[in-house]
Each structure stands twice: as C-alpha cells, then as structure tokens.
Amino acid sequence: MPAPHRVVIAAFPGVELLDVTGPAEVFSVASRVGGAGHPGYRVEIATADGGACATSSGVRLLADLRLDEVAGRVDTLLVSGAVTLTECGGAEAVVEPTVADWLRSAAPRAGRTGSVCAGAHILAAAGLLDGRPATTHWLTADQLAAAHPGIEVDPDPIFIRSGNVWTCAGVTSGMDMALAMVAEDHGQALALATARTMVMYVKRSGGQSQFSVPLSVQTPTGDPIDELRHWITEHPHEDLSAEALAERLNLSARHFSRLFTQRTGTTPGAYVEAVRLEAARRLLEETDGSLPQIAEASGLGSVKTLHRRFQRRLGTTPAEYRRRFR
C-alpha cells in the first residue's frame, strides 16, 4: 500500500484553533471514510519549540514535532493564522517571523503549500505569494494588499489555488479548502462522503464568495427592510423594481429608495442585481437548467443579460462558470 499522504500544519502561540483542527479533522475523516486499503492521511502539527501551544481560544495544542525536525517529504504543508484586534476596533494579521523564515526552506520541499485564514500573511512574508493571486480573511485583505503590492489580493473567494500554492478565507474555509484537496488527491466521491460524514456543505467551491448577498448586508432583525430583503432573495424572478418594492411597504418609490439605501448601504437596484446574480450562480452550480431557463428563474430575463452580468461582475461566461464549479 502507498504511504499515507503526509500533512504538516505549522502553528504558533495565539493561532486560531480551528485553523489547525478544521483541516486536520477533514483529512482524518477522509482517512476513516476511505477505509482499509486506502492510503489516507497522516497529520502532524509542528511549532517552533514543540510541545504545548496555546491557541487564541485558550485551548492548548500538543505539537508532534519542532519546525526544525520536519524532514523528508511533505505532501501538504499548511500554515495556520492568527488575528489581533487593534485599539480602533479593526483587525490585524499576526506575521510570525519564525514560521516565515522556516517556510522559505520548507515550502520548496512540499508537494503543495497552503495557508488558512490570516496564514496567507505568513506565506507572503516568506515570499511564496509574489506574483500570485491570493485570498485571506476579508478583515485583513487590505493589510495583505498594502504590505505586498506584488500579490493579486482578492478578498471575495472561499479559496484560491495558484499552481501548488493554495490560500483560503476566514477560519472555516480551511475545511472547504481541505475538502478540495481530498477531491484532488482521491476524487470527488471521497470528498463528498467526507463532507456528509462531517455534516458539511461540500459545494462551497473555491471561487464562491465569502458572503452570500443577504449576509453581506446587515439590517436589524424584524425591520421591514430586513424582511423585504429576504423576500427578494426568495423571489428573484418577481418584479423587483423600486416602484414594486415600495408598494409592498406602502411607501413612495422615492422614500423607499432613500430608506433602503440608508439601512443597507446600497441602492435597491444594486441589491436586486446582486441577488439575481447569486441566484444564477447557484442554479449553474446545482442544476442542469439551460441558460434561458436560468436567466428566467434568476430574474435576469435573457441570456444576453445573463452573459453581460457575468462578464461585468465575474469576468467569465455562464458556461465557463458552470464548467468550473459543477
């Protein structure tokens, strides 16, 4: 039987617990689901000093080895991350220099290298993301772009693969990335079985957004505008003009538009367009509907409009999007 696929996860004091344990659990479950006769995965946690490592939650991890003890072939090398809150209420990624220094020599020996959440900042400090597209937690994406202008930072996707270098968004997206790695190593069937065992949603493909449209715009629960937003999400094919939406709230179109923009930070027209585009994306991912059917069901109306929205907002065609994420 082939040797188990070796996964080494680099950690450090203050690391986000789920950045380490999330991907580790995915690989562990995949090994168990694969069963006897399957090579599976062997996961090791490495820290600068070895031994116990306190995480941001206070839970202590026990490292398997020190960073300088990582020898031989590493099939997957992952770097976890950490975020601290600033005095003004913002967030700042932790760049652990010891891990960054070690990565410069360790990464070339790995089959693939990846970061979880703010771990992308450590990959960047090691020079591993230069000239590549990359993502990270949306809270620290601006920091990554400012510190490393040579990186094409995209704060939207769940994860990005560039050659043998992977980066992912915040915290739980490390599990989505790990599932994609399982699919690459052993096929989609094992990845799906692993996701089902973990009660996970396996369809969060890399190019999908970190936020659904309803989650990206927050209003108080019970607010009429909030209820209307959820109705829009469930009825993208309806008449969603400002006049029709205003009528549902017994408001004038002008007052409604001003109130909606004030409460959500976006205009009704922009919100409706985003909802319809998200509906079209979901239908392309999950159904076999034709482009005319999807254009109608999503409320975009025509295939021409569908193409125009995808090209303008996503830089691709509906057909190419389906090929990539089905």
Fold entry, domain 5-197: Rossmann fold (3.40.50)
d(CA 96, CA 102): 10
326 residues of the chain, pLDDT tens digit each: 678 999 999 999 999 999 999 999 999 999 999 987 788 999 999 999 999 999 999 999 999 999 999 999 999 999 999 999 887 778 899 999 999 999 999 999 999 999 999 999 999 999 999 999 999 998 899 999 999 999 999 888 889 999 999 999 988 999 999 999 999 999 888 988 998 899 886 545 555 555 555 555 555 556 789 889 989 989 999 999 999 999 999 999 999 999 999 888 889 999 999 899 989 988 998 889 999 999 999 999 999 999 999 888 877 889 988 876 66
> 5-197 and 213-325 share one CATH topology?
no
- What's the pTM value of the predicted model, to 2 decimals? 0.70
What is the gyration radius of the CA atoms in the chain, in angstroms? 22
Give the pairing of strands 52-54 and 60-62. antiparallel
pLDDT at 210: 56
pLDDT at 202: 52
Bridge partners of residue 83, in order along the sequence? 93
* Domain residue spans of the chain: 5-197, 213-325
Fold entry, domain 213-325: Arc Repressor Mutant, subunit A (1.10.10)
